[in-house]
A and B are shown apart, each in its own frame.
Chain A
Amino acid sequence: MKKPRVCVLRTDGINCDEETFYAFEKAGAACSMVHVNQLRSGEEKLSSYQILALPGGFSYGDDVHSGKILAVELTSYLKDQLSAFVDSGKLIIGICNGFQVLVRTGLLPDRKLGEITTTLMVNDSSHFECRWINLLVEHTNCVFTKNLEGTVISVQVAHGEGKFYTDRDTLQEIENRGQVVFRYIGPDHSPTVLYPANPNGSLNALAGLCDTTGRIMGMMPHPERYVEKTHHPNWRKMPANNVPHGFAIFKNAVAYAREM
């Protein structure tokens, strides 16, 4: 079967690239590690790929703001390539630092490069937090969560700047257009703004977001860290046939890209 090509973007300080690469390969894609320098020099072109993955990490040390320096670089040098990639209906996923980059390029929530309308701020706790949390998958047209709508998934968060914030109107529009893909939920499985179930204090418990086409998605939690049974802290207590919750996200992307 045809293997969609995934561009796993690397640069100084990106550090979740290998597990993201592995998750997509396991889901049936053919991945390449591509350094942003290779795109700038023309040695690599986004157009040769169906999926662009922005992995987690601390791109350029998260200096000034998390993901900011890389976002500026992308909007300065790769604006045309990115627009063409998006307009041709291809997929982009940003995980953790990748989500921060997508928001700071303006690709989320509105696919408008250079227009920043939302942000990811320092956690309310004011410190980095690494823990497993539960997410509710909302009903959206998001390509990455097809058939997961309404389910609860466990994943790990690991970030210090994950508090989704924007003005009231923008938030309302995002809700009205059904762009919220994931929400942090409490023990009673309802969305919460309370620590630690909501690790950062995100407005409306927002943990992940897609554009109106559902083809660009960003999320703070790390689905690539739960693509094997043994990734879950309590796998020893689970039935042997339990399906890793993060894996479906990568499979959905690959399945969609196959049809391109």
Chain B
Amino acid sequence: MIQEVRVTAKEGIPDSKGEEVLYEINQALVIKSVEKVRTARVFRFEGIPGEQAVALAEKLLAEDIFECFSVNKPVFSDAPFVLEVAYKPGVMNPEAASLLKSASDLGICGLVAADSAWQYAFYGQRISQADIKRIINSLLVNATVEYVVKESPATLVIKGTPGRTGVVPVRGMSDDELQEISRDKLFLNLQEMKVIQNHFNALGRDPTDCEIEIIAQTWSEHCGHKTFKARLIVDGKEKRPLLKRLRDTTEQIGHPLVLSAFVDNSGVLEFYDGMAICGKVETHNSPSAIEPYGGAMTGSGGVFRDIAGTGLGAKVIASTDMFCFAPPDLPEENIPPGCLHPHYLLRRVVAGVRDYGNRMGIPTNNGSVHFHRDFRAKPSVIVGAYGILPALSCQKGQPEPGDLVIAMGGRTGRDGIHGATFSSGEMTDRTIDVNASAVQIGHPIEEKRMFDAILAARNAGLIKAITDCGAGGFASAVGEMGSETGARIALDRVPLKYPGLAPWEILLSESQERMVLAVAPEHAGRLFEICRGYNVEATILGEFTGDGHFSATYEDREVMRLEMEFLHNGLPQRVMKAAWKKPILPEPENEPVSDWPGLYQKVLSQLNVCSKEPIVRLYDHGVQGTSALPPYTGVNWDGPNDAVILTPLLGKPYGMVIAHGLNPVLNQIDPYFGSLWAAAEAVSNAVAAGADHREMALIDNFIWPFPDEELLGALDLAVDACVDFSSSTGMPFISGKDSLSSTYRGKDGTIIRIPPVLCVSAFGRVQDVNLTVSTDFKKAGSQIVLVGFRNIAEMAGSVYYQIQGYTGNNLPRVNPSLLNEVFTVVHKAAASGILQACHDISEGGLAAALAEMCFGGGLGAKIAVPGSEQADHFFFNETAGCFLVELPPGSDPGLIFGQVPCVKIGETTSAREISADQSGDVLFTLSIDDLKQAWQRPMKEVFR
């Protein structure tokens, strides 16, 4: 039987989780009938008698100082509503393993399974069933991974018998039938399906389900990047494929610091002291839209593994997160059916990034959140990771015939498998509950110890090649690694979370926290020793062969045998048409400003401008002891910086800089100049901190609505912008990712497209962090100087226009070759040590940059607006590549910045206010504290 232990806080001890839930119920759900919430942990143990459950409760589960427990009886007797929420069977509960470990450490044997859950008691006389239903559905339970426990399970052990390997008779299929099976689960077009049909006609046999699944996987948009590799016909003329354009440009630049571009799991740059740094940025939009917590967690976990799987293995040293959501205060009725509310999404995605990064001990210290109502159906969730490794280890070795295929880390379950062909008939009553396509709750500790073991194995010289198991699981990991040689694996050797997986499921499972290594046979023993030392499971799945085939067996029967050549090069190139039409958008009236204080505060409290500090405080951004420029500095530690700078080699002055830029709204007006803006913003952020753009590289992330002819035209222009920016600044793109499915189609025919997102990330090296700059003003009486090229009439897409309800057409047109000069002089000034503070101009314009510099410095500013310029445009224009700098009194901006436009616009003051006049007329005098309050309020309301 199952022993149940319930643990709760003693009377009088604050129940902070209960209070948190109560706050959400009262605030987010606006249900006032609930007056108090109490919570309890529920622990279940199978295979031990009651007295041992009591022993566990006393020694492990409940701390007598503040907790009490009950065994096999309820802990809340006085509440009108009590409910328990648990993970669905088959969704891995990370805590279970710890319970088993501690039990055996305490000498309690016979325990066969353990599980844990949360119990909630709701107090209040007026609570209705409807209230509880809403609390369950919109707050406590995500039906994808969790359920309300109505009665205690009879067993915690998941049983099941594996399904057989079936044959898919494609040879005899008509075009309709081919399209039919494709629609169900393969998502290939007819042309591609016929290529598969012909291939197997030639072989004189039909494919197994393993074979058809792995082909579909390898040829999917996700893995195959068919759009980026397609032949493009733009406005009737053929252009180079998008991917080729980016890669050719990087080759032409031939940057001396680039050690590896596009070929590995991340892009690699030379650092100092024989070390190299690498970066990768991923998107995780679809999972995060369904299950934001698990989706964000597995997004982080996946991009961390991309770093760990770079070269012969890298150490992850930073994590970044860029999100696009609908406004958190969007009325419930505006949320399309089947979509989650942005307030919930935002909080849960942040929680996922927090819990994965913090537990891994990876500082999350650069990021941003953008808001636009067209993200209400599908958010964009972008997660990046950066690493360091010896330069000599940054190239993968080539597996040779006889080398072993070794799987490392977590066990394999049904996580992430599309459930289409998953039949519950083959299983026991228990496994019927198993969610075939469970979004996995990540297990950061599993990944952390695996990474520790990987670095130890790398340092011991045991790894020939390594890659992570992401999309496509073993299928793509082993398939890619063995593409030159061939590989043969035994699927029945794969350690499983629970029995019952069919061979194709084992092959395709996307369970997290797994890596695949190529290891020479003589090194296997030492590798297993290391893994044991770190409590990491490692298994020999098979070996690399010389036969050019990818084959797999299950219980000694061959279930798959495919030519690598066909798998990787059999996919026909697509031909796609593209044509973008420039929209004509309404323009606001150009009226003089009547209420400066109100306007200034409105801009600062606009969601894309307001402080995101409450989010950053949830992330451990100091772990690893590498911080040299944190996200926030200043007298109250609340002035935001443009970039982050780390010293990954402890004790050395060498810095790694990380920054990024994106502005989806601009892409709606003009994807070419919108994308130029994003790249300019990314680099400006790093340069503002003192970095040299000639020692940096770029990463692209295109998150697009489904690319019909029009949007493919937009994508074509965005890629051209990247290419032009890259070639005129000499900064190469060395890694990238496209995700082209952010269109929502409702049953009623509603179509919602996100504003096209190009997120450009920039990273590189800094010789000496002592010569870097923060944004906070340092002294009163300094000169405030505006540096850079801008035409302030280019106001379209600005926050100033948006708060008036407009977008406009005349957007900032950044000139990348002029930017080159600006970056050079600003960096030179920083390196000379004369810049006291520097902040680049972006959303919110000069006004926002100036205010943030004042917030950090605890100082004010007195501004004189040039008589020739329109004051509102002067303050709110958002041209990227412009900088506000603080210079000592007396220094000559002209000498420092040479040919680049620079104008002294005012001085810092000890009076905590921002005042401005123009040609002798006073425009306004505003209190720093009022402005700061307006700027900090919005996120404080979402994250209390």
* Pairing of A with B: yes
We find that the number of chain A residues with CB closer than 8 angstroms to chain B is 61
Please, could you name 30 A-B residue pairs with CB atoms under 8 Å apart, sorted by A? Answer: A16-B623, A19-B626, A35-B533, A61-B444, A63-B94, A63-B99, A73-B101, A76-B105, A76-B106, A117-B65, A119-B63, A121-B66, A122-B16, A122-B17, A124-B14, A125-B16, A128-B354, A130-B617, A130-B618, A130-B619, A156-B622, A158-B622, A166-B65, A227-B625, A228-B651, A230-B627, A231-B625, A233-B627, A233-B637, A236-B773
Shortest Cβ distance from residue B912 to the other chain A in the assembled complex, whole angstroms: 16
User: Which of A19, A69, A158 contacts B102, CB < 8 Å?
Assistant: A69
User: Would you call A57 an interface residue if the criterion is a C-beta within 8 Å of the partner chain's C-beta atoms?
Assistant: yes
Chain A residues whose C-beta falls within 8 Å of the C-beta of B64 in the assembled complex: 116
Q: For A17, give the chain B residue with the smallest CB separation.
A: B361
Report whether B650 and A19 are in contact in the complex, using a CB–CB cutoff of 8 Å. yes
Report whether B770 and A165 are in contact in the complex, using a CB–CB cutoff of 8 Å. no
Chain B residues whose C-beta falls within 8 Å of the C-beta of A112 in the assembled complex: none
User: Would you call A189 an interface residue if the criterion is a C-beta within 8 Å of the partner chain's C-beta atoms?
Assistant: no
Complex CA distance for A88 and B731, rounded to whole angstroms: 60
User: Would you call B774 an interface residue if the criterion is a C-beta within 8 Å of the partner chain's C-beta atoms?
Assistant: yes
Report whether A126 and B16 are in contact in the complex, using a CB–CB cutoff of 8 Å. yes
Report whether B621 and A130 are in contact in the complex, using a CB–CB cutoff of 8 Å. yes
User: Would you call B877 an interface residue if the criterion is a C-beta within 8 Å of the partner chain's C-beta atoms?
Assistant: no
User: Would you call A45 an interface residue if the criterion is a C-beta within 8 Å of the partner chain's C-beta atoms?
Assistant: no
Would you list which residues of chain A between 120 and 172 have a CB under 8 Å from chain B? 121-132, 156, 158, 165-167
User: Would you call B449 an interface residue if the criterion is a C-beta within 8 Å of the partner chain's C-beta atoms?
Assistant: yes
- Kindly supply a per-residue 1/0 record for chain A positions 81-97, scoring 1 wherever the CB is within 8 Å of any chain B CB and 0 otherwise: 00000000000000000
Q: Which of under 10, 10 to 19, 20 to 34, or 35 or more describes the interface residues of B?
A: 35 or more
Complex CA distance for A38 and B456, rounded to whole angstroms: 15
Most chain A beta-carbon contacts within 10 A, residue among B14, B20, B632, B773: B14
Report whether A126 and B99 are in contact in the complex, using a CB–CB cutoff of 8 Å. no
Complex CA distance for A13 and B361, rounded to whole angstroms: 8
Given contacts A15-B623, A158-B620, contact A22 B651 (CB under 8 A): yes
User: Would you call A211 an interface residue if the criterion is a C-beta within 8 Å of the partner chain's C-beta atoms?
Assistant: no
Shortest Cβ distance from residue A67 to the other chain B in the assembled complex, whole angstroms: 11
Report whether B650 and A13 are in contact in the complex, using a CB–CB cutoff of 8 Å. no
Report whether A63 and B622 are in contact in the complex, using a CB–CB cutoff of 8 Å. no
Shortest Cβ distance from residue B24 to the other chain A in the assembled complex, whole angstroms: 11
Report whether A126 and B61 are in contact in the complex, using a CB–CB cutoff of 8 Å. no
- Kindly supply a per-residue 1/0 record for chain B positions 616-652, scoring 1 wherever the CB is within 8 Å of any chain A CB and 0 otherwise: 1111111111111010111101000000000100110
Report whether A60 and B98 are in contact in the complex, using a CB–CB cutoff of 8 Å. yes
Chain B residues whose C-beta falls within 8 Å of the C-beta of A228 in the assembled complex: 625, 647, 650-651
Report whether A15 and B17 are in contact in the complex, using a CB–CB cutoff of 8 Å. no
Chain A residues whose C-beta falls within 8 Å of the C-beta of B567 in the assembled complex: none
Report whether A128 and B633 are in contact in the complex, using a CB–CB cutoff of 8 Å. no
Chain A residues whose C-beta falls within 8 Å of the C-beta of B651 in the assembled complex: 22, 26, 228
Shortest Cβ distance from residue A224 to the other chain B in the assembled complex, whole angstroms: 6
Report whether B625 and A230 are in contact in the complex, using a CB–CB cutoff of 8 Å. no
User: Would you call B173 an interface residue if the criterion is a C-beta within 8 Å of the partner chain's C-beta atoms?
Assistant: no
User: Would you call B59 an interface residue if the criterion is a C-beta within 8 Å of the partner chain's C-beta atoms?
Assistant: yes
Most chain B beta-carbon contacts within 10 A, residue among A10, A13, A156: A13
Most chain B beta-carbon contacts within 10 A, residue among A126, A225, A233: A233
Shortest Cβ distance from residue A177 to the other chain B in the assembled complex, whole angstroms: 19
Other than the known A58-B361, A73-B102, what 8 A-B pairs have Cβ atoms closer than 8 Å? A12-B448, A15-B623, A68-B102, A116-B64, A119-B66, A166-B65, A234-B634, A234-B776
User: Would you call B378 an interface residue if the criterion is a C-beta within 8 Å of the partner chain's C-beta atoms?
Assistant: no
Complex CA distance for A158 and B617, rounded to whole angstroms: 9
Shortest Cβ distance from residue B205 to the other chain A in the assembled complex, whole angstroms: 47
Report whether A72 and B769 are in contact in the complex, using a CB–CB cutoff of 8 Å. no
User: Would you call B778 an interface residue if the criterion is a C-beta within 8 Å of the partner chain's C-beta atoms?
Assistant: yes
User: Which of A13, A126, A230, A237 contacts B359, CB < 8 Å?
Assistant: A13
Q: For B351, give the chain A residue with the smallest CB separation.
A: A127
Chain A residues whose C-beta falls within 8 Å of the C-beta of B443 in the assembled complex: 61
Report whether B99 and A64 are in contact in the complex, using a CB–CB cutoff of 8 Å. yes
Chain B residues whose C-beta falls within 8 Å of the C-beta of A23 in the assembled complex: 625
User: Would you call B872 an interface residue if the criterion is a C-beta within 8 Å of the partner chain's C-beta atoms?
Assistant: no
Report whether B774 and A236 are in contact in the complex, using a CB–CB cutoff of 8 Å. yes
Complex CA distance for A19 and B617, rounded to whole angstroms: 21
- Kindly supply a per-residue 1/0 record for chain A positions 22-42, scoring 1 wherever the CB is within 8 Å of any chain B CB and 0 otherwise: 110010000000010110000
Report whether B65 and A167 are in contact in the complex, using a CB–CB cutoff of 8 Å. yes
Q: For A19, give the chain B residue with the smallest CB separation.
A: B625
Report whether A231 and B361 are in contact in the complex, using a CB–CB cutoff of 8 Å. no
User: Would you call A18 an interface residue if the criterion is a C-beta within 8 Å of the partner chain's C-beta atoms?
Assistant: yes
User: Would you call B60 an interface residue if the criterion is a C-beta within 8 Å of the partner chain's C-beta atoms?
Assistant: yes
Given contacts A116-B65, A158-B620, A236-B778, contact A58 B17 (CB under 8 A): no
Chain B residues whose C-beta falls within 8 Å of the C-beta of A35 in the assembled complex: 533-534
Q: For B638, give the chain A residue with the smallest CB separation.
A: A131
Chain B residues whose C-beta falls within 8 Å of the C-beta of A166 in the assembled complex: 65
User: Would you call A204 an interface residue if the criterion is a C-beta within 8 Å of the partner chain's C-beta atoms?
Assistant: no
Shortest Cβ distance from residue B83 to the other chain A in the assembled complex, whole angstroms: 20
Q: For B778, give the chain A residue with the smallest CB separation.
A: A237
Q: For A234, give the chain B residue with the smallest CB separation.
A: B633
Chain A residues whose C-beta falls within 8 Å of the C-beta of B632 in the assembled complex: 233
Chain B residues whose C-beta falls within 8 Å of the C-beta of A131 in the assembled complex: 617, 637
Complex CA distance for A77 and B101, rounded to whole angstroms: 13
Chain A residues whose C-beta falls within 8 Å of the C-beta of B445 in the assembled complex: 12-13, 58, 60-61
User: Which of B59, B619, B624 contacts A19, CB < 8 Å?
Assistant: B624
Chain A residues whose C-beta falls within 8 Å of the C-beta of B191 in the assembled complex: none
Report whether A233 and B633 are in contact in the complex, using a CB–CB cutoff of 8 Å. yes
User: Would you call A3 an interface residue if the criterion is a C-beta within 8 Å of the partner chain's C-beta atoms?
Assistant: no
Would you list which residues of chain A between 202 and 220 have a CB under 8 Å from chain B? none
Chain B residues whose C-beta falls within 8 Å of the C-beta of A127 in the assembled complex: 20, 618
Chain A residues whose C-beta falls within 8 Å of the C-beta of B444 in the assembled complex: 13, 58, 61
User: Would you call A118 an interface residue if the criterion is a C-beta within 8 Å of the partner chain's C-beta atoms?
Assistant: yes
Given contacts A60-B98, A64-B99, contact A230 B358 (CB under 8 A): no
- Kindly supply a per-residue 1/0 record for chain B positions 55-70, scoring 1 wherever the CB is within 8 Å of any chain A CB and 0 otherwise: 0000111011110000
User: Would you call A5 an interface residue if the criterion is a C-beta within 8 Å of the partner chain's C-beta atoms?
Assistant: no
Chain A residues whose C-beta falls within 8 Å of the C-beta of B778 in the assembled complex: 236-237
Q: For A12, give the chain B residue with the smallest CB separation.
A: B449
Report whether A60 and B101 are in contact in the complex, using a CB–CB cutoff of 8 Å. yes
User: Would you call B841 an interface residue if the criterion is a C-beta within 8 Å of the partner chain's C-beta atoms?
Assistant: no
Complex CA distance for A56 and B106, rounded to whole angstroms: 24
User: Would you call B586 an interface residue if the criterion is a C-beta within 8 Å of the partner chain's C-beta atoms?
Assistant: no
Complex CA distance for A194 and B673, rounded to whole angstroms: 48
Given contacts A26-B651, A69-B98, contact A225 B627 (CB under 8 A): yes
Report whether B359 and A61 are in contact in the complex, using a CB–CB cutoff of 8 Å. yes
Report whether B63 and A225 are in contact in the complex, using a CB–CB cutoff of 8 Å. no
User: Would you call B107 an interface residue if the criterion is a C-beta within 8 Å of the partner chain's C-beta atoms?
Assistant: yes
Report whether A37 and B533 are in contact in the complex, using a CB–CB cutoff of 8 Å. yes
Shortest Cβ distance from residue B173 to the other chain A in the assembled complex, whole angstroms: 49
User: Would you call B535 an interface residue if the criterion is a C-beta within 8 Å of the partner chain's C-beta atoms?
Assistant: yes
Report whether B65 and A72 are in contact in the complex, using a CB–CB cutoff of 8 Å. no
Chain B residues whose C-beta falls within 8 Å of the C-beta of A76 in the assembled complex: 105-107
Complex CA distance for A58 and B621, rounded to whole angstroms: 15
Complex CA distance for A51 and B578, rounded to whole angstroms: 67
Would you list which residues of chain A between 45 and 73 have a CB under 8 Å from chain B? 56-58, 60-65, 68-69, 72-73
User: Would you call A222 an interface residue if the criterion is a C-beta within 8 Å of the partner chain's C-beta atoms?
Assistant: yes
Given contacts A38-B533, A119-B66, contact A130 B102 (CB under 8 A): no
User: Would you call B206 an interface residue if the criterion is a C-beta within 8 Å of the partner chain's C-beta atoms?
Assistant: no
Chain A residues whose C-beta falls within 8 Å of the C-beta of B625 in the assembled complex: 16, 18-19, 22-23, 224-225, 227-228, 231
